[in-house]
């Protein structure tokens, strides 16, 4: 009898303690004051960009985007607190930096991610991979944080902090990372006083005809086809997409990178082998290597390349530079919130 009573008392004590602990762990500003009433976010899609599929389970909200932006810039997301997404994905360089770091630009229109296509699906899918598998985020650290429990509540309501919600917030922020204000875009929109120079126009003609034939892979308004190709870099290509599919026919196929802001994202190719755009164009001009999976769209493969003249090379580069959008790399709403 006595024992039972003691047990009950102990239990009550424990419960109280637990409740107290929760009190102390709860950040300043009473939980009861938190409000879940997210404001719809009005996403501006650049002119001529394709229709954007936003998953119905993750509508854009001001609170979600803001939370995503904080997580992107906060080392607290990393399991050791060692680095933030933004340590490698640096705005000034179109959210790229070291060799191999893929930029973040218009990823909302992508459906296949990473050089070898390891993650396919929506932005939510790739962000879940980044948060959980790559950063091995420590949710306890976020729960103990003075602000995040409230910010997650304001963005997503009851249900606490989860990997999925962190990924959803990052995906919302990523959807705001749209670049469509390069000189090329301004010309497309026929903005007064903006024209391509003769050289840029020659580059455009090369790019969008079979003479240069870049557009079959890097074409359209996004300057990527969102597919995987072996662009004939090597006679013995690295495995690429083949590592994911296991198919020998996918050996050497890599994600086609967008050429928007390409001026800012060197060095180039999945292994960063080319330091400059000049080297890249030299490769397409003279440096192709045959291999069993070299893409048929590398139409000049039997001749080793397109054999551009010096003028043509400069024209192509001049055109590529019209895809630079510095209003994107300086956009204050994409910068660090801290």
Q: Which residues bind ligand HEC (CB under 6 A)?
A: 77, 83, 85, 87-89, 100-102, 107, 113-115, 126-127, 130-131, 135, 170, 212-214, 216-218, 229, 231, 233, 254, 256-257, 259, 262, 265, 268-270, 277, 280, 284, 295, 297-298, 316
In degrees and rounded to multiples of 5, residue 14 shows phi and psi of -60, -45
- One residue of 43, 76, 187, 297 binding another protein per CB under 8 A: 297
For 237, the token pair is 């290509």
H or E element in which residue 254 lies: strand 254-255
Nearer to another protein, 124 or 295 (CB): 295
- One residue of 298, 316, 317, 320 binding another protein per CB under 8 A: 298
Nearer to another protein, 154 or 213 (CB): 213
Query: SS3 breakdown of the chain: % helix, strand, coil, rounded to 5?
Result: 45, 5, 50
Taking CB under 8 A as the rule, does residue 299 contact another protein? yes
Nearer to ligand HEC, 88 or 221 (CB): 88
- DSSP alpha helices (H): ranges in the chain? 2-25, 62-73, 85-88, 123-128, 139-143, 148-156, 163-175, 183-188, 198-207, 215-218, 242-245, 277-286, 310-321, 326-329
In the complex, the smallest distance separating the C-beta of residue 236 from another protein, rounded to whole angstroms, is: 16
Neighbours of 150 (CB within 10 A): 18
In sequence order, which residues have a C-beta less than 8 Å from that of residue 32 and are 6 or more positions away?
A: none
Nearer to another protein, 36 or 249 (CB): 249
Contact 152, 295 (CB under 8 A): no
- One residue of 43, 101, 196, 221 binding another protein per CB under 8 A: 221
CA–CA separation, 311 and 61 (whole Å): 49
- One residue of 28, 246, 302, 332 binding another protein per CB under 8 A: 302
Contact 165, 159 (CB under 8 A): yes
CA–CA separation, 297 and 332 (whole Å): 40
With CB under 5 to 8 Å by kind, the binding choice for 212 among another protein, ligand HEC, none is: ligand HEC
For 29, the token pair is 């500003």
- One residue of 26, 209, 276, 336 binding another protein per CB under 8 A: 209
In the complex, the smallest distance separating the C-beta of residue 30 from ligand HEC, rounded to whole angstroms, is: 31
Contact pattern for another protein over residues 3 through 42, marking x by CB under 8 A: ----------------------------------------
In the complex, the smallest distance separating the C-beta of residue 180 from ligand HEC, rounded to whole angstroms, is: 17
With CB under 5 to 8 Å by kind, the binding choice for 254 among ligand HEC, another protein, none is: ligand HEC
H or E element in which residue 112 lies: strand 112-113
Residues binding another protein: what is the number (CB under 8 A)?
A: 32
Residues 172-201 that bind another protein (CB under 8 A): none
CA–CA separation, 61 and 168 (whole Å): 11
Neighbours of 322 (CB within 10 A): 21
With CB under 5 to 8 Å by kind, the binding choice for 89 among another protein, ligand HEC, none is: ligand HEC
**Which residues contribute to the site for another protein (CB under 8 A)?**
48-51, 109, 111, 205, 208-210, 213, 215, 219-222, 225-227, 247, 249, 290, 292, 294-302
């Amino acid at each position: 009898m006595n024992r039972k009573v003691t047990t009950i008392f102990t239990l009550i004590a424990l419960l109280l303690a637990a409740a107290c602990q929760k009190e102390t762990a709860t950040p300043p500003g009473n939980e009861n004051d938190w409000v879940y009433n997210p404001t719809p976010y009005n996403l501006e899609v650049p002119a001529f960009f394709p229709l954007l599929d936003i998953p119905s389970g993750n509508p854009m909200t001001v609170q979600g985007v803001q939370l995503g932006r904080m997580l992107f810039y906060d080392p607290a997301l990393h399991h050791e607190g060692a680095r933030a997404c933004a340590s490698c994905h640096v705005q000034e360089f179109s959210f790229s930096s070291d060799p191999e770091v893929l930029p973040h630009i218009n990823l909302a229109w992508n459906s296949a991610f990473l050089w070898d296509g390891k993650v396919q699906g929506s932005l939510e899918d790739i962000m879940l991979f980044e948060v959980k598998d790559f950063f091995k985020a420590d949710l306890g650290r976020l729960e103990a944080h003075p602000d995040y429990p409230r910010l997650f509540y304001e963005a997503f309501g009851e249900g606490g902090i989860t990997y999925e919600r962190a990924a959803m917030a990052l995906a919302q922020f990523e959807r705001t990372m749209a670049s469509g204000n390069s000189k090329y875009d301004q010309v497309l929109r026929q903005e007064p006083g903006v024209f391509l120079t003769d050289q840029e126009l020659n580059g455009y003609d090369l790019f969008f005809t079979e003479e240069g034939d870049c557009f079959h892979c890097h074409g359209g308004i996004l300057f990527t086809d969102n597919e995987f190709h072996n662009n004939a870099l090597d006679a013995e290509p690295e495995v690429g997409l083949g590592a994911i599919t296991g198919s020998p026919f996918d050996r050497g196929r890599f994600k086609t990178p967008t050429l928007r802001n390409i001026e800012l994202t060197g060095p180039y190719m999945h292994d960063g082998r080319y330091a400059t755009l000049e080297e890249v164009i030299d490769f397409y001009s003279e440096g192709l290597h045959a291999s069993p999976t070299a893409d048929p769209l590398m139409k000049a493969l039997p001749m080793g390349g397109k054999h551009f003249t010096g003028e043509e090379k400069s024209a192509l580069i001049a055109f590529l530079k019209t895809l630079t959008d510095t209003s994107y790399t300086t956009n204050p709403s994409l910068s660090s919130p801290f």
